A and B are shown apart, each in its own frame.
Chain A
């Protein structure tokens, strides 16, 4: 099962940089990133090329981190394709907890990262979606 990393941070100048600094110093690349914040704190989610290594590095540096299960889905990079994908999930009654995307330059494909409550059902629902393909862990690492 694919995973990404969630980091709890205080809303302070330089917090995001402190994370990217740690990761780049260990040669870890980021495939995707999202930031959500509340009044005093926020959650940064990252999809690194090596999840296990990134998690260990951040934990060692005493960041408050957790791994979370995700679905990484490839869709056509065109208007409405994300909407189509989300509709499939909605129609199957699957709640999307978080979602962020990244575009693959070389191709006409986009990749979105989904956190959903019920991953097996989501996999099942997306299986037959038009122009939608769930990526394997190997494919994610190779992005």
Chain B
């Protein structure tokens, strides 16, 4: 289902033409901000006339957003801005993103487009279990769902009993949920004596995002909840969710190229890589008024999937995010992404869904420690089976990571669970 058929199926050449004109507009708008006025002005840049010209534009880094706090990127008068979102900085200034009324409307439209693409309609009832507030996940989907016309329940995260009560009483059919929470939902239902089929017969779609997760985890969510789970990608610097989204093919995420210009670069050299190669995603906003960003380095690692999607959309797809370049752990010189660990664990029967990764220094060497919950339903009851399971986890991780982890099986439900984002990685090397 196409929310805006003309745009979603625009021929690649036409899409490129559109991008050139929007990029030029964006550069001209960006120059109105103190930051870009200086940065682009130094290079004498006033616009672009071809996609090749993009190469001459400078990158923008998260650090730039911090250093220009609070208004250094604002391109309009403050009175034209109607909303700000902010990401919490653990150190230094937070990053702050401003939106005009039109920016919010464009964003809502993008999310409506995403949800409509997966088959959600105005007849659906939507429960938004994501955090509202400065975080963009909650409000982004909220506005998109209303734009689409769904009955929207703005429940936010937490309080599982109340979540399930609303789902049951209002025949909720679509949810927006953290992947780690989606995996627990089935057992929460059981604990409340409820049956998914009997008590939540309408539930059919789950949007999962905000935490990087593997394909194996998606399959687990789909199986345990008997829903279609769609992967969502976004970042608050671009707007929030709605940047890229899976269609019903569930094979890569269409990145909306009428709203964002994408490049994949080598994170070390900054060189643009050919289509299909893996690297860091770099995005330029194409429609933003209050705060356009040029060649923003997302730190997210992915690749552009070559070829057309059977769904008919011409906007190119990116692969599920492989990891963030700043999530990457370097273990004695070997690059390890937490998502690789998850992919391996999800593929091993007998292993539960919760795990914790720790990196410590041991006699000047990095050592990867892994606590992995066993699946109580798959527990057979013998010591030998558990020893074999531990060996298998160690061996499969070693094959995937080229690093030998120290694996420890722990009891099911023994690792801490949060109702917010799951924290699974602890780098204890500098403590």
Contact = CB atoms under 8 A, between A and B. Distances in A.
A complexed with B: yes
Interface of A: 6, 8-10, 36-38, 40-43, 45, 59, 62-68, 97-98, 115
B219 interface: no
B380 interface: yes
10 contacts: A6-B379, A8-B381, A10-B414, A40-B409, A43-B383, A43-B386, A45-B381, A65-B379, A67-B381, A97-B382
Given A9-B411, A62-B412, A98 B382 contact: yes
B379 A66 contact: yes
A6 B382 contact: yes
B184 to A, nearest CB: 13
Nearest to B381: A6
Interface in B396-428: 408-414
B25 to A, nearest CB: 57
Q: Is the interface of A mostly helix, strand, loop or mixed?
A: strand
Contacts of A8: 374, 379, 381, 386, 409, 411
A40 B413 CA distance: 17
Interface residues of B, number: 17
A64 B382 contact: no
A6 to B, nearest CB: 3
A43 B411 contact: no
Contacts of A42: 383
A38 B383 contact: yes
A118 to B, nearest CB: 15
Interface of B: 374, 376, 379-383, 386-387, 390, 408-414
Given A10-B414, A64-B411, A41 B386 contact: yes
Contacts of A63: 411
Contacts of A41: 386, 408-410
Contact of A65 (B376, B387, B408): B376
A43 B376 contact: no
B383 A64 contact: no
B381 A68 contact: yes
Contacts of A62: 411-414
Contacts of B409: 8, 40-41
A10 B410 contact: yes
Contact of A64 (B376, B387, B408): B376
A96 B415 CA distance: 34
A34 B383 CA distance: 12
